[in-house]
Amino acid sequence: MRLFVLVPLALIALTGCTPHDRSPDEIREQTARATSTAARDAKAAAQGVVQGLKEQRTININRASADDLKRLPGIDEDSAQRIIEGRPYSDSEDLAKRHIVSRAEYNRIAGKIEAR
């Protein structure tokens, strides 16, 4: 029973893998398209790595300006001013412990900040 199922599947797979006769021009065009796509994708990947590294940097809440703090998700002008006025911090979690920002706001920015 298994043999009757496997043999047709193997034949279908082999039929799909047979080489097609293509002209050198077709091969050249296909190679050019693939190279162009690979170059574009490599450039996008490199830009993504740079962006990721920039976003990965943490902000020191003891020294950051209001503009730097406002770049954090959910931090507006008022929150930034409260953070600045509450300095110094021994730990970034002081923001939530001292009710400078809500626990939900802190959880959103916890990986992006530090207290040095």
Q: Is residue 11 part of a domain?
A: no
Q: What is the pTM of this model?
A: 0.54
Domain with 69, as residue range(s), is 59-114
Q: Is residue 103 part of a domain?
A: yes
For a pLDDT cut of 90, what percent of the chain falls above it? 48
- Count structural domains, the chain: 1
Q: Is residue 4 part of a domain?
A: no
Q: Is residue 98 part of a domain?
A: yes
Q: Using one digit for the tens of pLDDT, what is the confidence trace for 54-96?
A: 666 789 999 999 999 999 999 999 999 999 999 999 999 999 9
Q: Is residue 63 part of a domain?
A: yes
What CATH number does the domain containing 87 carry?
Answer: 1.10.150.320
CB atoms within 10 A of CB 33: 10
What local confidence, expressed as pLDDT, does residue 16 receive?
Answer: 57
Closest CA to 109 of 79, 65, 77, 78: 79
How confident is residue 13, by pLDDT bands cut at 50, 70 and 90? low
